[in-house]
A and B are shown apart, each in its own frame.
Chain A
Amino acid sequence: MKNSEGKKGNILDVRDLVIHYELEESTVRAVEGMSFTLGYGETLAFVGETGAGKTTTALGLMRLVPSPPGRMVGGEIFFEGRDIMKASGEELRAIRGEKISFISQDPMTSLNPVMSVGSQIAEMVVLHSGLSMRESRARAEEMLSLVGIRKERMGDYPHQFSGGMRQRVLIAIALACSPALLIADEPTSALDVTIQAQVLNLMKGLKERFDTSMIMITHDLGIAAETCDRVAIIYAGRIVEMADTESLFTEALHPYAIGLFNSIPRIDDDRDLLDALPGLMPDPARLPQGCPFHPRCAHASQECENSAPGLEDVGNGHLLACWLRGKRNSEVGSVAQ
């Protein structure tokens, strides 16, 4: 079954999503008005620092933000035309795993240590396919060999696998019901570099095979460039810039995005120090007034302190949230030099 066959438009349409963690002493504004769309078969990267709200957004899409303290404050999420925000618990359970599935970032802790990997894959199949336990186990065996693990290891437990193998098992679980949307939350950040490439290639291959749309969360611009059609740069719970991968990599516009690119070491230059962005991401419990990036921005003006810029199209679907967009060429310069 092809997920996107004959389907046009967007599988996912998120508008003004706001998610807060309401703690006793403060409110953490993890996601502040996130809007984006995802086309059928498309891969979108969420790039940003730790704590920018990437994972919270992803969990929000499945309505799995831990609550309390998490609360979905507002916004709309349309998945295949259905409003996820208004779905009942039962509808959500039917969507999770079958329609939208999730690969989390730490393979070492994401598998149940007292269940065999075979049962953990089969559990997913039983839940959504209506197959018997025996048929589900057969399907689980199939998935296991698809991710490159011998089916004889069905009965083995997570502690008998390496990190890379466990991530493969998690991928097998996530894809067992051929979901329409796969959310991968830094699927390779806990793995060795050599294993990273293997896992990424595996995911790319399987994504094409199952014709799945994908959101790839990462803080690694390299991974985004390699695997994704479009990239969204996320800062303090907002998308500050979003464009197709090529135009973002050739012409980043937001000062934060430019800073990210400048902080990547290059083999062909002889700088002693990398151009690190000054300062830290603001505490999401105490976001600054106006544009959340202005305290770290070299080009901040009074306008940036007063109000936050919205995400607007600056041409060819390149979206940018920055007051400097009009004056960019003269003042900020471009990253592609």
Chain B
Amino acid sequence: MVKYVLKRILYLIPVLAGVALIVFTLLYITPGDPAKMMLGERAGEEALRQFRQENGLDRPFFIQFGNFLLKAVTRGDVGKSYITKRPVTEEIMEAFPQTLKLAGYSMLIALCVGIPFGIISAIKQYSMFDTTVIILAMIGISMPAFWLGLLLILLFSVNLGWLPSSGFESFRAMILPSVTLSTGSIAMLTRMTRSCMLEVVRQDYIRTARTKGQKERVVIVKHALGNALIPVITVSGLQFGYLLGGAMLTETIFSIPGVGRLMVNAIMMRDFPVVQGGVLFVALAFSVVNLLVDLLYGYVDPRIRADYK
């Protein structure tokens, strides 16, 4: 088990290096001179050259990339923001708690709503409940977050005045953004749980449990759910990874100073180091969540546990 975890952590290195290379290249070929960005359009030639030299911007691409990687790996240093002049890691670490809070609440909502709805939908296949849930899930998946967010603000903040439209400190303020962000995940989890349950309840071992004289409730919860949840866990992990990195729209709409909004601002200001660091961080978060999911997977599925040894 320990060996497996170590192996998986080692696998993270090429993944992150690959992500770093892609992001670095994209930003390198993007038009716009970072030196001018930092010093302003009116800076003199001499000052610009000096800045490029100090920051290694006049060196060849691969040397720049090598330096970037070396500093990132040895010191966790992915550069300084052009705008605030503060280390990027510091900025991200400041923003991350808000993102984590938002993603955590959203995931919690998605799990608490999506899985039960999926189960009931599957047990009562083709019923009114099932049909309604399928339609709602379809809408949930198709609805863009920014649109839903604006509608929710309009209804609950502007018209009814029940909930604040921005902020992140109080629990009340987190309700609207969490609901907005979780909609897509709820829909995904509902559909996934439903289809997995439908597949599992037709299996022979469910019949075996019934021939034992087991109560229907126990058959569903113990025998069916235990098997149906395995793929649902994978999807939940992917969703959580996506929530951690993909909350840009929701964070912007609700003015939550998280990693998503940090990156949106950085992109608009051409603050390359922050964008770079942000993307790397998102990739790291995604990979770590996936690793945790795979470990959880082994816990629930003995067939996979066998592969860990």
Contacts and interface: CB of A to CB of B under 8 A. Distances in A.
Given A109-B204, A113-B205, A114-B227, A101 B211 contact: yes
A187 to B, nearest CB: 13
Contact of A110 (B207, B226, B230): B207
Given A104-B204, A109-B205, A159-B306, A114 B211 contact: no
B215 interface: yes
A128 interface: yes
Interface in A133-175: 157, 159-160, 170, 173
B55 interface: no
B301 interface: yes
A241 B211 CA distance: 29
Contacts of A124: 212
Contact of A112 (B210, B215, B227, B300): B227
B303 A95 contact: no
B213 interface: yes
Interface string A208-228: 000000000000000000000
A64 B210 contact: yes
A274 interface: no
Contacts of B210: 64, 96
Contact of A170 (B208, B300, B302): B208
A112 to B, nearest CB: 4
A94 interface: yes
Given A109-B203, A114-B300, A173 B208 contact: yes
B99 to A, nearest CB: 34
Interface string B185-224: 0000000000000000001110111111111000000010
B211 A96 contact: yes
A325 interface: no
A110 B204 contact: yes
B302 A157 contact: yes
Given A111-B205, A114-B300, A114-B301, A96 B227 contact: no
Contacts of A276: none
A93 B227 CA distance: 23
Contacts of A101: 211-212
Contacts of A94: 213
Interface in A81-135: 92-98, 101-102, 104, 106, 109-116, 123-124, 127-128
A107 B208 CA distance: 10
Given A157-B302, A159-B306, A127 B208 contact: no
Contacts of B207: 64, 104, 110
A102 B211 contact: yes
Given A111-B205, A112-B223, A159 B212 contact: no
Contacts of A113: 205, 227, 301-303
Contacts of A110: 204-205, 207-208
A62 interface: yes
A111 B211 contact: no
A313 B215 CA distance: 42
A119 to B, nearest CB: 10
Given A93-B215, A104-B204, A106-B204, A112 B302 contact: no
Contacts of A98: 213
B160 to A, nearest CB: 44
A104 B208 contact: yes
Most B C-beta atoms less than 10 A away, residue of A106, A110, A127: A110
Nearest to B210: A64
Contacts of B223: 112, 115
Contacts of A102: 208, 211
B298 to A, nearest CB: 12
Most A C-beta atoms less than 10 A away, residue of B209, B213, B226, B302: B213
B226 A128 contact: no
A173 B214 CA distance: 13
Contacts of A97: 211-214
A124 B300 CA distance: 22
Interface string A164-198: 00000010010000000000000000000000000
Contacts of B213: 92-98, 127-128
Given A112-B226, A159-B306, 17 more contacts: A93-B214, A96-B211, A97-B211, A97-B212, A98-B213, A104-B207, A104-B208, A104-B211, A110-B204, A111-B205, A112-B223, A113-B302, A115-B223, A116-B302, A157-B302, A159-B303, A173-B212
26 contacts: A64-B207, A64-B210, A64-B211, A93-B215, A95-B213, A96-B212, A97-B211, A97-B213, A101-B211, A101-B212, A102-B208, A104-B204, A110-B205, A110-B208, A112-B208, A112-B209, A112-B223, A112-B227, A113-B205, A113-B301, A113-B303, A114-B226, A114-B230, A124-B212, A127-B214, A157-B302
List 8 tightest A-B contacts by C-beta distance, closest first.
A96-B213, A97-B213, A102-B211, A157-B302, A109-B204, A97-B212, A110-B204, A93-B213
